[in-house]
Amino acid sequence: MSGRLGIGLDVGSTTTKAVMVDSQGAILASHLVNTGPSGVKAAHTCLEELSRKVGEDTKGVPTISTGYGRSLIHFANESVTEITCHSIGVHRLNPMIRLLIDVGGQDSKAVRIGENGRPRDFALNDKCSAGTGRFLEVMARVLEISIDELGPFALKSNSPSTISSTCTVFAESEVIGRIGAGEDPNDIAAGAHAAMANKIGTLSRRVGVASPICVTGGVALNPAFRHYLSKQLHAELWMPDNPQLTGALGAALLSLECPVKS
Amino acid sequence: MSGERAYRALNTQSLLQQVILRYMLDGQAASKRGRLAWVTSGFPVEIPVAMGITASYPEQYGAVIGSEKVGPALCGFAEDLGYSEELCSYARSSIGSTSKPGESPMGGLPKPQALLACNNICGTVLRWYDAISQMTGAPVFLLDTPPVQGEQQPHHIAYVRRGIERLVTFLSSTFGVSLEEQRLREVATYATQAIDLWTKSLEACKNKPSPLNCADRFLAMAPIVSLRGTAPAVQFYQALYEEVRGRVSQGIGAIRDEKIRLLWDNIPPWFDIFKFFNGLAKRGVVFPADTYTHAWSGSIEGEDLFHNVAALYSNVYLNRGLQAKVDKIVELIKDYDLDGFVMFSVRSCKRYSVGQLVSKERVTEQTGVPGVVIEGDMVDSRLFNEAQIQTRIDALLEMFQ
């Protein structure tokens, strides 16, 4: 293959994502694995897969790391925060987006994107895991269904339970209480999503809600989350085809600005 | 140049150590003589100083506890006594240290004979000093300074002035001392001279490169808090200003390669102060201004000293409304030509931290520069998540690229 290539590695708390782009920023290959106990190992697995899919050696290809484990990737040319990378990745896919809401495994962020694709303002969740993927994982476990089933399960409800949105641990106790009180599990699941949407709505309003709004991150794949967030923000949401890859895509696009290693 | 450190230490540092050592020794000697008061940082200390009472500052000692990285242990002693983890870590570490002085830096603050609290910085100080009173037997005096919204009213100043008069009565009866106006005027002159010199050093940071960084100011502010109204404080600030002026005239900055100029809002994380600010210095980030060290300003000199004390001390930064805070930050960003700002949301200090999310929006609206809120604490390092803070700071810095 000829021409300049670039790689973005997004080492998240739950999953590690890699994207390879050509000199025009078009995606050539991508891969996603669970991060597991070693972000570095997950990153190498991703690179091997990229190499296999494209038929090119990834050594020497400019690489930018991002995500929670970005500083672990010593072979990367640079590390850049997920805030900037998601912003650039989303801007590439839809330049109209001005508010990005990214909800990952252990953090959630609202980013105001400037016309140049760079963040203009941002807000992240505090130390609490309410409003992150972890919150929904805990709720799914209590309801004894898989995380993938949780969203469709919640959408069957017409009357969401009221769940506290302030703390994952207390919300878990609350859910157990609702189960004990005989409430419909669909309603409880819906209540958990509404609570989460409430939390994310507050975060978003801190940077200013401006349409069109994009949702990314693993939690964006959950249809109930999108439904309740859309209601919370009184706005339609736009989601890219692969909402988990936008951070890695942004990193890959930034890597095109790096000098090529000799 | 490449071998030079990113951060340039001040020569005045050694003088600062001498001055602070003397302050601590004076405190111990005064305690033995029965003439020591513990005083909150915003207390009108000119009055007790003029009456021959030496002051020790638990908040400053809290900074020492933080710097020595023993905050969690000393806060833990207070928690063992039943105090909530939500209580201010200056208060917790002070209560913990008073309960176990042998396990505290320098054996704890010397034992007080009186506790002087002014609620112009927060309401916690009264209950904190009540707790210390129970442990030491020293009586508490509260100077009540109701919050100021908008313009300060004459009846407000008159009310605080009556508190100052009661303070004189309290000190007279507690220590058997009296207040001479001439002596108060001398103390006021020392305080004004030190504050003038300090203010000049702060304002010199409008220069590019800035001659002082945040950590420099947070350390150099110690005498303006603890020795206000004394000759050694004036001597120290004279020396500091000479050094600052020298740096400015030679174009020497506090950091080697100044690229980004930011404002800092709130108390610093004392346990991480060098690592934090020097780490950013390596990336070309300097903090020419902050809201904390600018809080000690103004003079009580003039015809009616009590009136001036009441007017000045009840109108301090933390005793005013949110709009006043926003105005101050906006003014500093414009005057010091800053690129952005970092607001440290200190879990302990509700008075300082409440409203920062709203302030952040307003400051950005009015200045056009971005800011970030990071969360943690000044003493209790258990509340400081370095990885989360790093991501927020990194993202802010990326906005300047």
pLDDT tops 60 at residue A246? yes
Task: Check residue A67 and give left, alpha or beta (phi > 0: left; psi -120 to 50: alpha).
Answer: left
Looking at chain B, the whole-number percentage of residues with pLDDT higher than 70 is: 99
Do B293 and B217 contact (CB within 8 A), yes or no?
Answer: yes
At residue B3, the pLDDT reads 61
Lowest mean pLDDT among B2-11, B65-74, B193-202, B353-362: B2-11
* A135 lies in the same domain as A201: yes
Name the pLDDT band for B50 (thresholds 50, 70, 90): very high
B358 contacts on A by Cβ (under 8 Å): none
* A186 lies in the same domain as A212: yes
* A202 lies in the same domain as A108: yes
Within a domain: A64:
yes
The set of residues, in sequence order, having a beta carbon less than 8 Å from that of A87 and lying 6+ positions away, is: A100, A111, A113, A117, A118, A119, A250
Task: Find tokens 């330049």 and name the residue.
Answer: A95
* A224 lies in the same domain as A130: yes
At residue B150, the pLDDT reads 85
For residue B268 the two structure tokens come to 């610093």
Q: Residue B279: in which H helix or E strand, if any?
A: helix B273-281
* A48 lies in the same domain as A101: no
* A164 lies in the same domain as A79: no
* A104 lies in the same domain as A142: yes
At residue B333, the pLDDT reads 98
Mean pLDDT along residues A47-58: 94
What total of structural domains would you count in chain B?
A: 1
pLDDT tops 90 at residue B149? no
For residue A170 the two structure tokens come to 């207390």
The set of residues, in sequence order, having a beta carbon less than 8 Å from that of A83 and lying 6+ positions away, is: A109, A111, A119, A122, A124, B391, B395, B398
Do B192 and B184 contact (CB within 8 A), yes or no?
Answer: no
For residue B220 the two structure tokens come to 């150099």
Q: What is the ipTM of this complex?
A: 0.84
- DSSP assignments along A89-130, one per residue: HHHHH-TT--EEEEE-SS-EEEEEEPTTSSEEEEEE--SS-T
Within a domain: A30:
yes
Rounded Cα distance, B114 and B137, in Å? 9
What does DSSP say about strands B54-56 and A213-216: parallel, antiparallel, or unpaired? Answer: unpaired
B401: nearest CA in chain A?
Answer: A118
What total of structural domains would you count in chain A?
A: 2
Rounded Cα distance, B98 and B130, in Å? 13
Task: Find tokens 């078009």 and name the residue.
Answer: A26
Within a domain: B259:
no
pLDDT digit string, tens, across residues B328-338 = 999 999 999 99
Within a domain: B233:
no
Rounded Cα distance, B277 and B219, in Å? 13
CB atoms within 10 A of CB B239: 17
pLDDT digit string, tens, across residues A140-150 = 999 999 999 99
* A128 lies in the same domain as A170: yes
Within a domain: B47:
yes
Within a domain: B69:
yes
Name the pLDDT band for B206 (thresholds 50, 70, 90): very high
At residue A1, the pLDDT reads 53
* A203 lies in the same domain as A155: yes
Nearest by CB: B392 against A68, A120, A124: A124
User: What is the extent of the structural domain holding B55?
Assistant: 13-176
At residue A70, the pLDDT reads 95
Name the pLDDT band for A129 (thresholds 50, 70, 90): confident
- CATH code of the domain covering residue B35: 3.40.50.11890
Across chain A, how many H-helices and E-strands are there?
Answer: 8, 10
Q: Do B387 and A68 touch (CB under 8 A)?
A: yes
* A78 lies in the same domain as A145: no
> Could you give the 3-state DSSP secondary structure of residue A172?
helix
- CATH code of the domain covering residue A45: 3.30.420.40
Within a domain: B351:
no
* A74 lies in the same domain as A109: no
Do B302 and B308 contact (CB within 8 A), yes or no?
Answer: yes
Within a domain: A207:
yes
Within a domain: A43:
yes
A81 contacts on B by Cβ (under 8 Å): 391, 394-395, 398
At residue B1, the pLDDT reads 44
Rounded Cα distance, B370 and B367, in Å? 9
Rounded Cα distance, A106 and B211, in Å? 40
CB atoms within 10 A of CB B147: 14
Residues 73-132 of A with CB under 8 A from B: 80-84, 107, 118-124, 126-127
- How many residue pairs bridge chain A and chain B with CB atoms within 8 Å of each other? 37
Within a domain: A67:
yes
Within a domain: B22:
yes
Do A22 and A28 contact (CB within 8 A), yes or no?
Answer: yes
Within a domain: B300:
no
At residue B273, the pLDDT reads 95
Mean pLDDT along residues A194-223: 93
Query: What is the CB-side half-sphere exposure of residue A199 using CA atoms within 13 A?
Result: 30
pLDDT digit string, tens, across residues A68-108 = 899 999 999 999 999 999 999 999 999 999 999 999 888 89
Q: Which of A66, A121, A258 to mutate to test the interface with B (most CBs of B within 10 A)?
A: A121
User: What is the extent of the structural domain holding A193?
Assistant: 97-239
The set of residues, in sequence order, having a beta carbon less than 8 Å from that of B393 and lying 6+ positions away, is: B280, B342, B372, B374
Mean pLDDT along residues A45-54: 96
Within a domain: A166:
yes
Residues 357-396 of B with CB under 8 A from A: 357, 361, 364, 370, 372-373, 375, 385, 387-388, 391-392, 394-395
| CA A179 to chain CA centroid, nearest Å | 30
Q: Do B398 and A126 touch (CB under 8 A)?
A: no
Rounded Cα distance, A61 and A255, in Å? 9
**Mean pLDDT of all residues in chain A?**
92
Mean pLDDT along residues B11-25: 94
Within a domain: A125:
yes
Mean pLDDT along residues A227-241: 95
* A52 lies in the same domain as A101: no
Name the pLDDT band for A114 (thresholds 50, 70, 90): very high
Q: Which of A84, A113, A128, A204 to mutate to test the interface with B (most CBs of B within 10 A)?
A: A84
Which of the pair, B132 or B297, is modelled with greater confidence? B132
The set of residues, in sequence order, having a beta carbon less than 8 Å from that of B194 and lying 6+ positions away, is: B223, B224, B227, B228, B229, B233, B234, B236, B237
Rounded Cα distance, B258 and B243, in Å? 19
pLDDT tops 70 at residue A261? no
CB atoms within 10 A of CB B212: 28
Residues 141-200 of A with CB under 8 A from B: none
**Mean pLDDT of all residues in chain B?**
95
Listed in sequence order, the DSSP H helices in A144-218 are 147-154, 168-180, 185-207
Do B42 and B121 contact (CB within 8 A), yes or no?
Answer: yes
| Global pTM value | 0.90
pLDDT digit string, tens, across residues B258-316 = 999 999 999 999 999 999 999 999 999 999 999 999 988 888 999 999 999 999 999 99
Q: Do B375 and A80 touch (CB under 8 A)?
A: no
Nearest by CB: A127 against B364, B373, B385: B385
Do A26 and A216 contact (CB within 8 A), yes or no?
Answer: no
